[in-house]
């Protein structure tokens, strides 16, 4: 319960000033605590992990109280709550600060521990296989992301092209159908006109030929029949 309270205090008060301290792999590092208190807590912050309470320091010669037995071989305390880190590795890198619980809690200035640039290169050289594996994983992830982007863009372009082709096919099919229908309609109209003209020609009577076929005797007899008796 007290550790949880400490973590809450750290989250509230972790805006203290931070100073950088460089070190090399395998070296021993000493971090000072600027709080003048009888007992303090040493805390390690490694983002994005929550704060880790390493130990509780008492006035000498009383031994510190470790929250985890694994910390005994790595951390120790000397005069005035000075924290000593033995045989530094990448696991010990982070922000260290000491804190006094109370109301309100007191928080020291923080110390950020990290490697020199040359140390990072040397460590990577000593672990060539791990470095190559890490670079290979990063390269694969980068290529995988690029291929995903290419596949998405290709899918969108193919979809757009398919839509355009469907539109063109519909346009030409509908246009050809309309042209065929219009051509058939024009043909029907022309055939109808020809049929009507043909019917009109057969309906016309040639009266000149009819008059030629009538004999004069028929005309005289018909006229004589129509003559009325004279009075």
Task: Tell me the per-residue pLDDT of 145-170, one tens digit each, with 9 for 90 and over.
Answer: 777 788 888 888 888 888 988 988 88
Range from 103-112, 157-166, 174-183 carrying the lowest mean pLDDT = 174-183
Q: How far apart are CA 37 and CA 57, in angstroms?
A: 10
- pLDDT surpasses 90 at 85: yes
Higher pLDDT, 143 or 160: 160
pLDDT band at 103 (very low <50, low <70, confident <90, very high): confident
CATH class given for the domain over 2-126: mainly beta
- The strand pairing partners of 111, in sequence order, are 19, 96
The pTM is what? 0.49
pLDDT, position 92: 94
What is the domain partition of the chain in residue ranges? 2-126, 147-203
Q: Is the CB of residue 48 less than 8 Å from the CB of residue 109?
A: no
- The strand pairing partners of 18, in sequence order, are 110
DSSP secondary-structure letter at 28? -
- pLDDT surpasses 70 at 205: no
Nearest to 51 by CA among 115, 8, 87: 8
């Amino acid at each position: 319960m007290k550790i949880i309270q400490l973590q809450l205090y750290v989250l509230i008060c972790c805006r203290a000033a931070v100073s950088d301290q460089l070190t090399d792999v395998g070296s021993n590092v000493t971090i000072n605590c600027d709080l003048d208190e009888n007992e303090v807590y040493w805390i390690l912050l490694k983002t994005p992990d929550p704060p880790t309470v390493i130990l509780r320091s008492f006035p000498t010669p009383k031994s510190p109280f470790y929250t985890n037995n694994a910390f005994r071989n790595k951390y120790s305390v000397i005069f005035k709550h000075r924290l000593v880190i033995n045989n530094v590795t990448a696991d010990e890198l982070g922000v260290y600060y000491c804190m006094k619980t109370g109301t309100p809690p007191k928080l020291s200035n923080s110390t950020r521990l990290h490697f020199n640039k040359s140390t990072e290169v040397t460590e990577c050289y000593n672990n060539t296989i791990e470095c190559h594996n890490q670079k290979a994983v990063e390269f694969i992830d980068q290529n995988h992301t690029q291929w995903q982007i290419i596949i998405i863009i290709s899918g969108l372009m193919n979809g757009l092209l398919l839509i355009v082709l469907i539109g063109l096919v519909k346009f030409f099919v509908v246009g050809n159908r309309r042209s065929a229908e219009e051509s058939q309609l024009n043909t029907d109209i022309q055939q109808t006109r020809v049929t009507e003209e043909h019917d009109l020609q057969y309906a016309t009577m040639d009266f000149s030929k009819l008059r030629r076929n009538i004999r004069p005797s028929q005309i005289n007899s018909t006229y004589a029949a129509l003559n009325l008796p004279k009075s």
